[in-house]
Chain A
Amino acid sequence: GAVVSQHPSWVICKSGTSVKIECRSLDFQATTMFWYRQFPKQSLMLMATSNEGSKATYEQGVEKDKFLINHASLTLSTLTVTSAHPEDSSFYICSARDGQGAEAFFGQGTRLTVV
């Protein structure tokens, strides 16, 4: 299957700072990327869907000003957690798809800890 690389795999930051997570499709062009959040012992919850070159579509209850998503190229999407707080500590995972109806491939995930 196709490879999606997510970086960093883990990050610790201080409360009030911003953190950027990158999601790259290494061997295909990702027209659509998805960002999920997973709290401990819970399922994956979709945060937003981003299409290359357009604004992301956020799920209900997800603050777009807090979770900034940029999908400026066909191989890279970024999620920036702005003014992070301890309650933002979670596992963030992206997935990428190369066309309508095609399967989405997942990155390795990023474990964010805000102290």
Chain B
Amino acid sequence: AQKVTQAQTEISVVEKEDVTLDCVYETRDTTYYLFWYKQPPSGELVFLIRRNSFDEQNEISGRYSWNFQKSTSSFNFTITASQVVDSAVYFCALKAAGNKLTFGGGTRVLVKP
């Protein structure tokens, strides 16, 4: 069975601070995909990144960066120089065998001006 744990339920920062969201996953499959999604107050899910299990390279996209560590089964997400528009709920998700997406509990990020 697959499991995704986001230990932080809520993080509050002041604008321009960096914020790191933790994600730890469990799966017995050797081939899997990891995702991060952003859910703003309007509710839609915004896709941020997909990473497959064979690609451990870290990735940077603008102010966003991701750190994938298979040794610790973690796929952490950092927002650098946070902005008020970054306020949202962020979900980490795992897709392994069976093609179902398993979501973590989500981390609510509040960026104060």
Chain A positions within 8 Å of B, measured between CB atoms, are: 1, 32, 34, 41-46, 49, 91, 93, 95, 97, 100-101, 103-109, 111
Q: Is the CB of B103 within 8 A of A1?
A: no
From A34, A42, A100, contact of B101 by CB (8 A): A34
9 nearest A-B pairs in the assembled complex, by CB-CB distance:
A106-B45, A109-B43, A108-B44, A43-B103, A44-B103, A43-B105, A43-B106, A109-B44, A91-B43
Contacts of A44 in B (CB 8 A): 45, 91, 103
How many A-B residue pairs have C-beta atoms within 8 angstroms? Tell me: 42
Main secondary structure of the interface of A (DSSP, over half): strand
Main secondary structure of the interface of B (DSSP, over half): loop
Q: Is the CB of B44 within 8 A of A1?
A: no
Alpha-carbon distance between A104 and B50 when the two chains are bound, in angstroms: 11
Alpha-carbon distance between A49 and B100 when the two chains are bound, in angstroms: 9
Alpha-carbon distance between A108 and B41 when the two chains are bound, in angstroms: 12
> Which chain B residue shows the least CB distance to A44?
B103
